[in-house]
Structure 1
């Protein structure tokens, strides 16, 4: 091969490599989002006790799979009794709620972006249903969405194989730190009544792995939704290294 021909082939290779680099997704740039928010009162009602449904959702035009995951999780969060079925759509849920609602009943559903970093989108989900009684019942959840894999990451996806026990040991240590920070570590009655529990609500935030608890889980209703944070250095060898901020 002549020098000129070799140089030409090398230039083409370099150009293709540069193009491949240019067309890689920029995971440092946040995904575009669009918000959809509305509040509907029960048709025909015109007083201050009208039942209502309030929905506030974020959409991701470039990640339709994440949109679908959010829709599914919000519909699941409307199920408050053992015999209830997951509604086919949020509109179907609203219609059913309005048909059965009594004065002062209300339902709130929200999905918002908590963080975007390192190709991970953390969506926080919230629900609240007032259907009689002294107060309504709130719910919380997270979706950890991998932009690289276009799917939700479960806890098993996050963990190094065989490290689930180590993860929950780290979580229990972090819970003890939460008790100290909340000035509850000396309250023997509180510790006995509200012991540490596992939670499905786990978020890969930039500052640490966050565990969020529903009301009545590790604290009374008045304390809302406690958050326990595990620092990433404590999870070396437990969480997959590529999921640590800055390593992906």
Structure 2
């Protein structure tokens, strides 16, 4: 009887922490999962000097079941801000030695984020970084963070598109959009082999949105390219 009670207790604990949900698909959890207790709040950093201006608003987490994982996650995001500051400071100072232009045109770094999904034990974030270091325009970069909160593991594209048929289905969605506006794209045909091992994407309640950065598939003026793929 004691062994049975212990088994029931273990099953209850596993279910409470969401581990038992692993049997369900990510797609089902996206669409039907309950809102997470996890809270996403913002960490704000600002820096201004004659040669550099930084404004950062990045995500921090509270309420995760694994506090150590949460602390490591939060620290890694704050480190990204410091890395951006250090990189632009170095570049700005090197350029300042060459020409005195920064009183009118300081280097600029801006970071911001969006919560795309926070339910079903899944968290999907998009972190956007804009930098201006002179020239005709700045550059915008996106970093997509998709986490299974029940394990702390970051999800890869192949976790949702886990067969050749599913990858081909995703490629077909991209091809359909290219066919609608071919003048905007560098290629006429998108093949499954063009999906990168670290392919960027974010999650919503009903779609996985495949993303490509500036100049990857289209010119700068076309912006970030997003291709929403519905659940199979």
Shared fold per TM-score greater than 0.5: yes
Q: Which has the higher contact order (CA 8 A, sep 6+)?
A: 2
On the 8 A contact 1:111/1:125 being kept in 2, the answer is yes
Indicate yes or no: 2:229 matched with 1:230: yes
Match of 2:139 in 1: 137
Q: What's the RMSD between the two structures over aligned residues?
A: 3.4
**Structure 1 residues without counterparts, runs of 5 or longer:** 1-8, 76-88, 234-248
Deviation at 1:195, TM superposition (A): 4.8
Deviation at 1:177, TM superposition (A): 2.9
Match of 2:112 in 1: 110
**Structure 2 residues without counterparts, runs of 5 or longer:** 19-32, 93-101
Which structure has greater helix proportion? 2
On the 8 A contact 2:56/2:81 being kept in 1, the answer is no
Match of 1:29 in 2: 35
Match of 2:97 in 1: none
Which structure has greater strand proportion? 2
Deviation at 1:95, TM superposition (A): 4.1
Q: Work out which of the two has the higher radius of gyration on C-alpha atoms and give 1 or 2.
A: 1
Provide the rounded CA distance (Å) in 2 between the counterparts of 1:100 and 1:191. Answer: 32
Provide the rounded CA distance (Å) in 2 between the counterparts of 1:22 and 1:74. Answer: 31
Change (3 A) 1:126 1:71: farther
Deviation at 1:73, TM superposition (A): 6.9
Total equivalences in the alignment: 196
Match of 1:54 in 2: 55
Aligned residue for 1:33, secondary structure, equals strand
TM-score using structure 2 length:
0.69
Change (3 A) 1:193 1:22: closer
